[in-house]
Structure 1
Amino acid sequence: MKKIGLIGGTFNPIHNGHLYIASEAMEKLKLQEIIFMPAGNPPHKRNKDILDANIRSEMVNLAVRDYSGFTLCDYEVNKEGYSYTYETLKYLKSIYEDIEIYFITGADCLVDIFTWKNVEEILKLSHFVVFNRPGYPLEDLLVQKEKVERYYNKEIIFLNLLQMDISSTDIRNRIKNNSHYRFFVPDNVYSFIEKLELYR
């Protein structure tokens, strides 16, 4: 059975922190592939200014194409309507014959998991993997992890990673304020942003 990691997000833009998380997850969980899934129309960010999905997808493609085992899937970008995780997991199960999916997400998602759609199905279709993020105390996360595990009777995998305080929001703000940001994103993504004058 092939072990696949799934990392979704708006990737607005993708940055080096995303690649670090994927690399650590691949090593620690012994995964054979990491799929990056840019969100097309995420329901939890309906009122936010998000760059066109195809442009975000192209940035992800530029970021991951030179890394062995990292792949881009544009299912959610091409999907009509809102993108829900349980639907994405069902889709991946339908196109891969024999896979075990590890859904990799941040601490903020663990905190908000009770607001997600069809959580039981998500936990049935995948191993739920959470990594820590700046601003979320470790003790609080472990308490929430136990709470979720008891409620759904399902184990949550926790990755205690080196905290890299890089965010897409900060990068966008730096670009708007003409501050340096090139060391936060892959070189080819930096060139793409500069060429198209994104986030100006």
Structure 2
Amino acid sequence: MKIGVYGSAFDPITNVHLWTASTIFHRKKLDKMLFLPSSKERRDKSLRSDDEHRIRMIQLAIADDSRFELSTEELDAPIGKQYTYFTMQRLKEQYSNDELFFVMGADILVNIGKGSWVQGEKLVEEHQFIVMARDGIDMLKTISKSPLLRNADDGRFHLVDKGLAMEISSTYIREEFSRGGEPRYLLPESCYQYILNNQLYLDTDS
């Protein structure tokens, strides 16, 4: 099987997360997409809701789509092993007969290319990637300018332009909730109601 591993904070999961996953699934002819919420222990993440809430919102969002599955592999990892390289190593063991692709945005590709990710060089050397376009980022130029990326550019970077520059920031949604707004149609209705019922993001300032 061809499996996409879609890592994000999902704080909260949005309709664009789902649309992106569906687009990638179709374009790259995947058999499964894993939604991989980030660990709160990562130094590059600042999360506003507890793991249990993010897990539940993902479960609600993907409940009706058999192509999508939740993976808590990163959340369950021991301290120090919660970064993407270690997570992908464990997933490779779990899915030893399958082909894995780490799904990320072009902005993440830039960060990896700069060497700012833990074990970023090993991550690039040992895995395949599906990279989604972002406005203002030239993906080919990003690869060619980075020694780390260009020396591994043997077809492992599968570049995808979704064809529609539609982005919904989880930060924007959190801000709307904190100010009494109604970002109802930016995320699944089940998640919207869950946030209201659990009074999430009411005190966030970011």
Distance across 2 between alignment mates of 1:96 and 1:106: 23
Map of 2:176 onto structure 1: 174
Asked whether 1:97 is paired with 2:96, we answer: yes
Summarize the Cα distance change of 1:165–1:97 in structure 2 as closer, same or farther, 3 Å threshold: closer
User: Which secondary structure does the structure 2 equivalent of 1:26 belong to?
Assistant: helix
The one-letter amino acid of 1:196's match is N
The unaligned stretches of length 5 or more in structure 1 are none
How far is 1:180 from its partner?
1.6
Distance across 1 between alignment mates of 2:145 and 2:3: 26
Asked whether 1:192 is paired with 2:191, we answer: no
Asked if structure 2 preserves the Cα contact closer than 8 Å seen for 1:182 and 1:190, the reply is yes
Q: 2:50 aligns with which of 49, 52, 57?
A: 52
1:47-95 CA distances to partner (integer Å, 9 max, x unpaired)? Answer: x353111211111111112112100011112223252111111111111
How far is 1:175 from its partner?
0.6
How far is 1:199 from its partner?
0.4
User: Which secondary structure does the structure 2 equivalent of 1:75 belong to?
Assistant: coil
How far is 1:23 from its partner?
0.5
1:83-125 CA distances to partner (integer Å, 9 max, x unpaired)? Answer: 2111111111111230111111012101111211222322244
Map of 2:30 onto structure 1: 31
Backbone CA RMSD of aligned residues: 1.6
**Mapping of residues 128-167 of structure 1, within 5 Å:** 128-133=129-134, 136-138=135-137, 140-148=138-146, 149-155=149-155, 156-161=157-162, 162-167=164-169
1:154-183 CA distances to partner (integer Å, 9 max, x unpaired)? Answer: 432111112212010000001111112010
Distance across 2 between alignment mates of 1:84 and 1:23: 25
Map of 1:86 onto structure 2: 85
Identity %: 34
Range moving further from structure 2, 106-115 or 122-131 = 122-131
Distance across 1 between alignment mates of 2:75 and 2:123: 20
Distance across 2 between alignment mates of 1:178 and 1:50: 17
The count of corresponding residues between Structure 1 and Structure 2 is 194
1:18-56 CA distances to partner (integer Å, 9 max, x unpaired)? Answer: 0011001111111000000111222212xx353111211
Distance across 2 between alignment mates of 1:67 and 1:145: 34
Map of 1:126 onto structure 2: 127
The unaligned stretches of length 5 or more in structure 2 are none
TM-score by length of 2: 0.88
Range moving further from structure 2, 109-118 or 152-161 = 152-161
TM-score by length of 1: 0.90
Distance across 2 between alignment mates of 1:64 and 1:18: 11
User: Which secondary structure does the structure 2 equivalent of 1:152 belong to?
Assistant: coil
